[in-house]
Amino acid sequence: MEPTQDKLNAMKLFGMAKYLRQWMELPKEKALTPAELLGLLVDAEWVHRENRRLELRLQNAKLKQSACVEDIDYAHPRGLTKAVMLDLASSRWVQSHQNVIFVGPTGIGKSWLACALGNKACRDGFSVVYRRASRLFDELAQARADGTYPHLLRRLAKAQVLILDDFAIEPLAAAQRRDLLEVIEDRYKTSSTIITSQLATDQWHGAIGDATVADSICDRLVHNAHRIHLRGESIRKSNALTTAKKPTK
């Protein structure tokens, strides 16, 4: 079987080659028909390629935190509804080109929840890009300076889910709000965006600055969004206190 495995690897059928090697090493309880063996080999190749695609999507997403929707903590009192999150975990909002907005105080888990939804979107076959708002504005400014601005806008528009974390921590400069409008306009009704912010959506106008630009941005982000308002004590603070109370060994 070595020549066969070499040919499979040469044709980049790595899943088939690996499964064939494993199958040859296993004790055979019953003989398989050629059709049955072929089906198992094809299934192995399919799984291998799907796993590779998922690995690449997660790698390209560059999520800030390793978070999964299955690990969401509903016990901490922060106003998070399980039914809402289970619905969002279906990724139907991505298929419908809707947005998700998490607002609430620092430490309440907004970024973690955004990354969890981003992770699930990757697992469901969607492309995801994560950026902190300040880093994105720096990236756009650099792209404008070196002539790659149109290319960056196309790359951001192509992402089926854009996570914009820590939005409106400080007021936007004129160039930043123009850049944000360009990004959001390119994505309007064609893709989805997740926003996390400490400010409620009715305070975004003040943070964006220009009333006309703020209206345009908010109209494209907020009115087609699932809005989740979190409140309560910081999870990071609670975890730190719990850790501090544990007896040392």
Q: What is the pLDDT of residues 75-86, one digit of tens each?
A: 888 889 999 999
Predicted pLDDT of residue 32 = 79
Neighbours of 135 (CB within 10 A): 12
The answer to whether 220 and 186 have CB atoms below 8 angstroms apart is: no
Tokens 């999150």 correspond to: 85
Distance CA 85, CA 63 (A): 19
Considering Cα of 63, then 68, then 74, then 76, what sign does the dihedral take? negative
The residue ranges of every structural domain in the chain are 2-60, 62-237
Beta strands in 73-127 (DSSP E): 99-103
Containing H/E element for 117? helix 110-123
Strand-pair category, 161-167 with 225-229: unpaired
Q: Quick one: the chain helix, strand, coil %, rounded to 5?
A: 60, 10, 30
**pLDDT digit string (tens) for 149-198?**
999 999 999 999 999 999 999 999 999 999 999 999 999 999 999 999 99
Residue 87 reports pLDDT greater than 60? yes
**What pTM does this model have?**
0.82
SS3 state of residue 196:
strand
Q: How does pLDDT run across 131-158, given as a tens digit for each residue? A: 999 999 999 999 999 999 999 999 999 9
Query: Lowest-pLDDT range, 11-20, 27-36, 58-67?
Result: 27-36
Superfamily (CATH H level) for 62-237 = P-loop containing nucleotide triphosphate hydrolases (3.40.50.300)
Note the pLDDT tens digit of each residue in 93-137.
999 999 999 999 998 999 999 999 999 999 999 999 999 999 999
**DSSP 8-state assignment for residue 249:** -
Which residues have C-beta within 8 Å of that of residue 39, sequence separation ≥ 6?
Answer: none
